Amino acid sequence: METMDVPDKLHIQENEDYESLLSTNDEPVMYSDKCFKINAHGQSSERDLVLTTKHIYNLSGTKIRRKIVITDILAIIKTSFDNQFILHMPKDYDYRFDTSSRDEFIKLLQLRFANLNPVDTLKIYLVDDEIEKYVTPIKDKRYGISNLPPPNKRSKVEELEGSADLNEEGDCLESLCLEETTEDSADYRVTDDFSNTNSRENGRDVGMLEAEEAKEAACFEQDELTCRQSVLIFTNKKSTQKVLSLESFKILTVLGKGTFGKVYLTELLENKKLYAIKAIRKDVLLETEQIENTKLERDILLECDHPFLCGMDYVFQNDLRVYFVMPFVRGGELYKHFLKNKRFPEEQVKFYAAQIACAIGYLHSKDICHRDMKLENILMDEEGYIKLIDFGLAKILKDSEMSQSFCGTPEYLAPEMVSQKGHDKSVDWWALGVLIYEMLIGVTPFYNRSRNLMLTRIQQSKIIFPNKKKYKIEYSDEAQDIICKLLAKKKSKRLGSIDDMEEVLSHPWFSDINIDDLLERRIEPLFKPEFDDATDTKYFNTKIDFTSTVIPEEKQKEVEDNIDRFAGFEKNLSKF
């Protein structure tokens, strides 16, 4: 295996003093740099951090202080505001480091881990508070205690590139490292900013105690530094009676907290209309290199006008954050209704699938590929109709264009995405096939707890439909047929690959749905969510979060130094 051109900044590979120490002939050096090792008491010691193809070394001069087998690592915990990180190992106590080349080290470690252990994923957690609380010391390890952050701290997309150079087999399946959740744990599904793992069964009563409301309002104002600095950049409203700012909205509760910030349920004071405000931290956008993706998401939300897409009415900006202001969709995630019911009746599945197809068709007509369709990214409104959300992974693709990027949620990935051979907009039709199967049967068609096996099944396995009588599941021949045609492994043979939405909706399974009536919302839904009052949030896991979200000064300085990169938020919108 050839050695990659990697940053051996300390020239360990060339230094004869290290040759016998590290056995560099057997395990080439991939990375070396100065670092600080931080102990349980917060004391720092300057060390050399070395990554080879087999181990991580903590060196003091030519003395090995610690030697860690790469495959013994379960997770990496890193901060959003400095260069510290923790190596978490289930069989040993944690190690905490601080180095200016942290992200370079983590990227290389991810790549090597994926090669050495193709079955498991190296979990990456991004935390915005004090990292020492997440260190698992020796005393906790003895009692089986782990101080890992909660699942909602997992990076939304942990995407690896170029892993084929490190993989002797040339198998790039494990290059995809995504936050994953399942019904029972947090294993296979990417969470979004409208969810919160700290749930309460009936949601939070909007009629909060005055003291709590005051605390949350203070937290919100502190979070934004000051609402008075906010500027209305764009609005989708044809006319506005007065100039709006964040102070024009009253906070009712927190709907969720994600990688980029919080999502608030608010009320526009002038007309009592409910809005969800997504507060996006600019420092985290810089950290995750998501500025351009967020600009594209803004453009899509503001420009797209469709009954089955969740649009956006306003965008605000201040020095440290961008705010997406969207109408509140009260019924919550379709995923939560699915979990409660285990599966849906076929007519209900068809009703939802037709709406999703219409939404996809509209996006494709604008050259937008969604690339992250799943039940969590579909919201239900108060009438029982649905809206597709979350354009964080969307991409502009012309009809003749293909993308080489690798992203999405493992259960819904199309074969061409897994094989990294390039994909077009037909990956969305594959995802629709997965959704229809999942809503009918109760599980995605290629699911396996081993991500490697699941991705292999996506590429190679046939679709298996369960015995109707044995499992008491009802589905028609037409339903089975459309699933098989949407899940054609060759994208050129996939339903929707030629005439897009028209081709999909002309399938016999949809023959009893009048699409014009559907678009005009004249069809009576089989299920409508129930609400106690106008501000009932029972379908969201609302919980007040009183933790400090003040951005550290060094991160504020980083945003100031890169302020020109956010100038695009104030330019004219892209036209699709």
* Same domain, residue pair 302 and 409: no
* Same domain, residue pair 324 and 356: no
What is the structure's pLDDT at 200? 29
Q: Is the pLDDT of residue 186 over 80?
A: no
What is the structure's pLDDT at 232? 64
pLDDT band at 18 (very low <50, low <70, confident <90, very high): confident
pLDDT tens digits, residue range 393-432?
999 999 889 998 888 899 999 999 998 889 999 999 999 9
Cα separation of 294 and 55, whole Å?
37
Considering 21-30, 77-86, 196-205, 251-260, the range whose residues carry the highest mean pLDDT is: 77-86
Mean pLDDT of the chain: 81
Q: Round to the nearest angstrom and report the end-to-end CA distance of the chain.
A: 46
Segment 188-198 mean pLDDT: 33
Is residue 380 a part of any domain in this protein?
yes
Residue 295 in contact with residue 571, Cβ under 8 Å?
no
What is the structure's pLDDT at 161? 39
Hey, what are 50's tokens? 């070395």
Alpha-helical runs (H) found in 366-511: 415-418, 427-441, 451-460, 468-471, 477-486, 500-505
CATH of residue 251? 3.30.200.20
What is the structure's pLDDT at 576? 42
SS3 string, 150-209, reads CHHHECCEEECCCHHHHCCCCCCHHHEEECECCCCCCECCCCCCCCCCCCCCCCCCCCCC
Phi, psi of 400 (to 5 degrees): -95, 0
Segment 96-115 mean pLDDT: 90
Q: Residue 104: which domain range? A: 16-178
Q: What value, to the nearest 5°, has the Cα angle with vertex 537 and ends 533 and 540? A: 160
* Same domain, residue pair 378 and 508: yes
Q: Is the pLDDT of residue 206 over 70?
A: no
Is residue 265 a part of any domain in this protein?
yes
Q: Is the pLDDT of residue 508 over 80?
A: yes
Residue 140 in contact with residue 105, Cβ under 8 Å?
no
* Same domain, residue pair 40 and 171: yes
Q: Is the pLDDT of residue 166 over 50?
A: no
Cα separation of 69 and 19, whole Å?
18
Judging by DSSP bridges, how do beta strands 75-79 and 123-127 pair with one another?
parallel
Among 372, 390, 428, 500, the one annotated catalytic: 372
CATH of residue 104? 2.30.29.30
Cα separation of 336 and 344, whole Å?
12
* Same domain, residue pair 366 and 292: no
* Same domain, residue pair 436 and 555: no
Residue 459 in contact with residue 489, Cβ under 8 Å?
yes
What is the structure's pLDDT at 151? 75
CATH of residue 400? 1.10.510.10
* Same domain, residue pair 306 and 340: no
Hey, what are 28's tokens? 């080439």
Q: Is the pLDDT of residue 159 over 50?
A: no
What is the structure's pLDDT at 17? 79
- The residue with tokens 């069809």 is 523
What is the structure's pLDDT at 372? 94
Lowest-confidence pick of 76-80, 121-125, 373-377: 121-125
Cα separation of 412 and 415, whole Å?
10
Lowest-confidence pick of 195-199, 237-241, 423-427, 516-520: 195-199
pLDDT band at 208 (very low <50, low <70, confident <90, very high): very low
> Which residues lie below 8 Å from residue 417, measured CB to CB, with a gap of 6+?
406, 407, 408, 423, 427
Is residue 354 a part of any domain in this protein?
yes
Is residue 188 a part of any domain in this protein?
no
The structural domain count of the chain equals 3
Which among 144, 128, 174, 165 has a CA at the least distance from the CA of 287?
128
* Same domain, residue pair 90 and 162: yes
What is the structure's pLDDT at 405? 83
Segment 107-120 mean pLDDT: 82
Please confirm, yes or no, whether 165 is among the known catalytic residues: no
pLDDT tens digits, residue range 212-255?
434 444 444 444 434 435 666 656 665 455 678 888 999 888 88
Is residue 525 a part of any domain in this protein?
no
What is the structure's pLDDT at 254? 87
* Same domain, residue pair 62 and 171: yes
Our measurement of the distance from residue 81's CA atom to the centroid of its chain's CA atoms, rounded to an integer in Å, reads: 20
Final residue of a structural domain among 125, 156, 178: 178
Helix (H, G, I), strand (E, B) or coil at 78: strand
Helix (H, G, I), strand (E, B) or coil at 239: coil
Q: 477-486 vs 346-365: helix axis angle to the nearest 10?
A: 30
> Which residues lie below 8 Å from residue 262, measured CB to CB, with a gap of 6+?
223, 254, 256, 278, 279, 545, 549
* Same domain, residue pair 324 and 338: no
* Same domain, residue pair 479 and 434: yes
User: Does 282 show up as a binding residue in the annotation?
Assistant: yes
What is the structure's pLDDT at 525? 97
Is residue 524 a part of any domain in this protein?
no
pLDDT tens digits, residue range 325-355?
999 999 999 999 999 999 999 999 999 999 9
Q: Is the pLDDT of residue 135 over 70?
A: yes
Is residue 409 a part of any domain in this protein?
yes
Segment 474-493 mean pLDDT: 97
Q: Considering just the CA atoms, what is the radius of gyration of the chain in Å?
A: 25
Is residue 200 a part of any domain in this protein?
no
Q: Is the pLDDT of residue 180 over 50?
A: no
* Same domain, residue pair 250 and 295: yes
pTM of the model: 0.62
Lowest-confidence pick of 22-31, 290-299, 365-374, 492-501: 22-31
Q: Is the pLDDT of residue 203 over 60?
A: no
* 181, burial (CB in 10 Å: exposed 0-12, middle 13-18, buried 19+): buried
